[in-house]
Chains A and B, each alone.
Chain A
Amino acid sequence: MTLILDYEAGNLASVKRACAHVGMEAEYCADPEQLRRADRVIFPGVGAAGSAMQSLRERGMDEALREVIKDGMPVLGICLGMQVSLTHSEENDTATLGLIPGAVRRFAFDRQDLKVPHMGWNEVRVVQEHPVLAGIQPGDEFYFVHSYFPQPQDDNAVLALTDYEGDFACAIGKGNYIGTQFHPEKSAQVGLRLLANFSKWNGQC
């Protein structure tokens, strides 16, 4: 069973619909015990890092997530669900899960035409092959909506890059954990393929 982590941070229905479309039946999960019995987990999220972490801790989900990831369960983080996998976020100066050493920073531009949030379609360049990113071609674009971006300490954790006045990591991963800054569930056919890849991934790279 695929479980979609429900911690009152965002629109889970669009993730569930996209999963169903690629034949991955998924249920919402708000209970850490249930999470431990999953086959794979999708960790979505929009909103702010501070309230998201608070909500995870109140439910005991932070510990459960660390455990299942340690045990090798395939986990996909999306947007804020990815950002909280790093050690620290500038958003609300929040200590986050620390699955991948590094920080989450806010875009800061002087130019008026570079808007924050970075919202819309942008190219994803795979820099490290990964089963979940299989089939992404040069020039393929995904849908982004975010004001903060991840900055892992270790370059090996960076799987793909996107250029927004300089490259930032748009997909990161370590072992059986992978996270994307873009929204596969809103990224048309290329996004659906990524979800289909994840549905078959055994957590090995």
Chain B
Amino acid sequence: MLSKRVIACLDVRNGNLAKSVKFVDTKDIGDPVAKAREYYLDGLDELVFYDITASSDKRNIMLDVVEAVASEVFIPLSVGGGVRSVADATDLRLAGAEKINVNSAAVQRPELINECAAAIGNQNVVLSMDVLRTVVSEQLPSGYEIVINGGRTKTGKDALAWALEGEQRGAGELVVNSIDADGTKDGYELTLTAMIAQAVRVPVIASGGAGKPEHLLQVLTEGGADAALVASMVHYGDYSVSQLKQYLHDQGLKIRLC
């Protein structure tokens, strides 16, 4: 039986680790390579780097970060943020990323998912979705809307429909990131996660809102997620990766312990 995964997400800006609350008020909190190494040695299952560098001329810094991490961290490494083309994906793969996350650019041009899947394989293409709760309407029957550009722009796309389209276009995994829950530490968006996990046949990674170990347990059971993404709760030292995994294991989940 597969183990449930605990994934740490590191937002990187200009080569530094950043963490935001509700996608604004970003502050830099340290060296991403050192954090990656720390989590790896503490039993992390997978790492996600998200490049939130604003200016494109500093994008190469991200490749250096990925390369440095890939030389000493031997777990799957997923990278996203600003991936607009197969060439971007290939550059990151050469630097050492296993999986590539696509987000805003795929919403604007969905063929990007097909192109990346053809070039690097479905299993390496992760569709990352930023989702905002909204009122149910004819256009948004799931009651959830896809937003882009770090949560600032509404797209009018229904979250459930987009998840299904992403899967059909070749995404091998979905990250469901709730903008409502992001940074609140009040728990994952269980309704949204469960709705998408039940509808697709690719793994679903829940993201946004983790503050306590119980939140991970909830989203991996009730929420139907295959993996739980954590950020603040480990970045600020509230919990360690091994502590979270031990808790989930003690609660009866199948978890890799080292």
What residues make up the interface of A, taking CB atoms closer than 8 Å to B? 11, 13-14, 17-18, 20-21, 46-47, 112-113, 115-123, 139, 141, 143, 145, 163-164, 185-189, 191-192
Whether B74 and A188, one on each chain, are in contact in the complex, defined by CB atoms closer than 8 angstroms, is yes
Specify which of A112, A164, A191 is in contact with B74 (CB 8 Å cutoff). A191
| Complex partner residue of A11 from B75, B98, B203, B256, CB under 8 angstroms | B98
- Neighbour of A186 across the interface among B43, B72, B94, B98, CB < 8 A: B98
Chain A proximity mask over B197-228: 1 for CB below 8 Å, otherwise 0? 01001110000000000000000000010110
Q: Main SS of the interface on chain B?
A: loop
Given contacts A119-B2, A120-B2, 11 further A-B contacts (CB under 8 A): A17-B74, A17-B96, A46-B123, A115-B203, A120-B45, A120-B203, A122-B2, A123-B1, A164-B2, A186-B74, A189-B74
B residues lining the A interface (CB < 8 Å): 1-3, 5, 40, 43, 45, 70-72, 74-76, 93-94, 96, 98, 121-124, 172-173, 198, 201-203, 224, 226-227, 256-258
Report the minimum CB–CB distance from B197 to chain A (whole Å). Answer: 9
* Pick from B172, B224, B258: contact of A189, CB under 8 Å: B258
- Contact yes or no, A17 B70, CB < 8 A: yes
Distance of B190 from chain A, by nearest CB (Å): 17
In the complex, which residues of chain A have a beta carbon less than 8 angstroms from the beta carbon of B2? 118-122, 164
In Å, the complex CA distance between A116 and B202 comes to 7
Q: Nearest chain-B residue to A146 (Cβ)? A: B123
User: Taking A11-B98, A186-B75 as contacts, is the C-beta distance between A164 and B1 under 8 angstroms?
Assistant: yes
CB distance B40 to A188 under 8 Å?
A: yes
Q: Residues of A contacting B172 with CB < 8 Å?
A: 117, 119
The docked-state distance in angstroms from the alpha carbon of A13 to that of B122 is 19
* Chain B residues closer than 8 Å to A139, beta-carbon distance: 257
**C-alpha spacing A143/B5, complex, angstroms:** 11
Do B3 and A120 touch across chains, with their CB atoms under 8 A apart? yes
Is B74 in contact with A187, judged by CB distance below 8 angstroms? yes
Q: In the complex, what distance in Å separates the CA atom of A117 from the CA atom of B3?
A: 14
Q: Which residues of chain B have C-beta atoms less than 8 A from A164's C-beta?
A: 1-2
Q: Could you name 16 residue pairs across A and B whose Cβ atoms are closer than 8 Å? A: A11-B98, A14-B98, A18-B74, A21-B72, A115-B203, A117-B172, A119-B2, A120-B45, A120-B203, A121-B5, A121-B45, A145-B123, A164-B1, A186-B76, A188-B43, A192-B74
